[in-house]
Chain A
Amino acid sequence: MFELFFSFFKIGAFTIGGGYAMLSMVEKAVVDQKKWVANDEFWDMIAVVQSLPGVFAVNTALYVGHRVAGIKGAIAAMLGAIIPSITIILLLATVFREFRDNPVVERVFKGIRPCVVALILAPSLRMIKSAKVTWKTAIIPIAAVFLIWWCKVSPVYVILAAIAGSVIYALVIGRRQKTEDKKRRI
């Protein structure tokens, strides 16, 4: 239990840049060093955990923890993964609110803000590329942008609509794969 907590604590404390950056570190700790989960099971699990909503790192910690030591293990691993974050942000937020109006900090952040905008736009376009969006399916992201940005529709509804569409799509794809399997067998 302490081992679980401590392993994920280390991962939470030393990986910068969010969930995917920590993947290789989790693999090293969980598969190579502690041998909690076999290699192919680990990657199967990642594929599923990635498709779940929520915090990727937390989902991974919960799964590994549960696999090793049941519910208590899951909670221990999850706390390990999030406690460093919470502590560091609490410290920084307190300090930052003190210094926000400092002219030097203000100037630095005036430079940072446009950069943040770029850092949000770039991965979204990369995601569109990796999703293999064609001219036909490009309507989906364009519609999402239009609804949220222009019509001020809550992203909640956009996601719900997208989930409904995707489930139908997945069912159709699943059926098609099944019939192809049958054809092959014949």
Chain B
Amino acid sequence: MIYFQLLWVFVKIGVLGFGGGYGMLSLIQHEVVDHYAWMNTTEFADMVAISQMTPGPISINLATYVGYTTAGFGGSLLASFALCLPSIIMVYLILKLFMNKKNSALLTNTLKGLKPAIAGLIFAAGLAMMNTQNFVDFGRGQYNISVIICVLAFVASYFFKANPILLIVISGVIGFFAF
């Protein structure tokens, strides 16, 4: 049963996951945390951090991780494969049969229109993670170190395009000394 659920969830994400790994985040979060409750929001945050820091496509990392935690080794292979399955069919069909100038213009224009919605999707995934499970000292300590980490990381990432891995490492060090 769990295998069917994994297959269905990740095929769906493979079909609807526009905008790369981050674009899939909201979909994965909805299925894994809200719908099936395979993990809670802190586990989800940890998984995103690990996927971000390790080599390879983030979405494959996420699929492998979700598959492994829910159904072990077989689950991890199944989830990753399910995520790639729509791509295999789509790339084959689209690039082989429909590839011409007119259609590719339609495709890129469609993506242009999709972009603002996908951005909203990603933002919602971030908002959903803003809770006291992920911000442990919110409203408890005097300093709210987790809020400070979040704000500083945001500024560094948005305005200075800081390396995300570096930011994760620094936050980890701060966490080690602060909590």
* A33 beta carbon closer than 8 Å to chain B: no
Size bin of chain A's contact surface: 35 or more
Q: Which residues of the other chain, B, contact A118 by a CB distance below 8 angstroms?
A: 126, 149-154, 157, 167
CA distance A56 to B84 in the complex (A): 10
Establish whether residues A158 and B121, one from each chain, have CB atoms under 8 Å apart when the complex forms: yes
CA distance A106 to B60 in the complex (A): 25
Known: A58-B83, A85-B56. 7 other contacts (CB 8 A): A53-B17, A53-B18, A55-B83, A111-B171, A122-B154, A156-B16, A159-B118
Task: Summarize A's interface: helix, strand, loop or mixed.
Answer: helix
Q: Which residues of the other chain, B, contact A119 by a CB distance below 8 angstroms?
A: 48, 52, 153, 157, 164, 167-168
* A39 beta carbon closer than 8 Å to chain B: no
- Among B27, B69, B87, B146, chain A packs the most CB atoms within 10 A around the CB of B87
**Chain A stretch 43-62: residues in CB contact (< 8 A) with chain B:** 44-45, 47-59, 62
Establish whether residues B95 and A141, one from each chain, have CB atoms under 8 Å apart when the complex forms: no
Establish whether residues B123 and A107, one from each chain, have CB atoms under 8 Å apart when the complex forms: no
Least CB separation from B125: chain A residue:
A120
Establish whether residues A156 and B27, one from each chain, have CB atoms under 8 Å apart when the complex forms: yes
- 11 A-B pairs whose Cβ atoms sit less than 8 Å apart in the complex: A48-B95, A48-B107, A53-B90, A78-B84, A110-B136, A111-B175, A113-B146, A114-B153, A116-B48, A124-B122, A148-B120
Q: Tell me whether A142 and B95 are in contact in the complex, defined as CB-CB below 8 angstroms, given that A55-B84, A82-B60 are known contacts.
A: no
**Chain A stretch 81-124: residues in CB contact (< 8 A) with chain B:** 81-82, 84-86, 88-90, 92-94, 96-97, 100, 104, 106-124
Q: Which residues of the other chain, B, contact A149 by a CB distance below 8 angstroms?
A: 124, 127-128
Least CB separation from B102: chain A residue:
A174
B65 to chain A, nearest CB (A): 5
CA distance A93 to B71 in the complex (A): 12
Q: Pick the residue among A44, A78, A100, A156 that contacts B88 (CB under 8 A).
A: A78
Q: Pick the residue among A55, A127, A141, A159 that contacts B60 (CB under 8 A).
A: A55
Task: Summarize B's interface: helix, strand, loop or mixed.
Answer: helix
CA distance A82 to B117 in the complex (A): 28
Q: Which residues of the other chain, A, contact B120 by a CB distance below 8 angstroms?
A: 124, 128, 140-145, 148, 158
**Chain A stretch 165-182: residues in CB contact (< 8 A) with chain B:** 165-167, 169-171, 173-174, 177
CA distance A128 to B172 in the complex (A): 29
CA distance A141 to B83 in the complex (A): 25
CA distance A20 to B42 in the complex (A): 27
* A183 beta carbon closer than 8 Å to chain B: no
CA distance A66 to B65 in the complex (A): 28
Q: Tell me whether A148 and B95 are in contact in the complex, defined as CB-CB below 8 angstroms, given that A51-B111, A109-B46, A141-B117 are known contacts.
A: no
Establish whether residues B14 and A85, one from each chain, have CB atoms under 8 Å apart when the complex forms: no
Least CB separation from A49: chain B residue:
B91
Q: Tell me whether A120 and B48 are in contact in the complex, defined as CB-CB below 8 angstroms, given that A78-B88, A171-B106 are known contacts.
A: yes
Q: Pick the residue among B104, B113, B153 that contacts A115 (CB under 8 A).
A: B153
Q: Which residues of the other chain, A, contact B57 by a CB distance below 8 angstroms?
A: 12, 18-19, 22, 55-58, 81-82, 85
Q: Pick the residue among A86, A123, A158 that contacts B64 (CB under 8 A).
A: A86
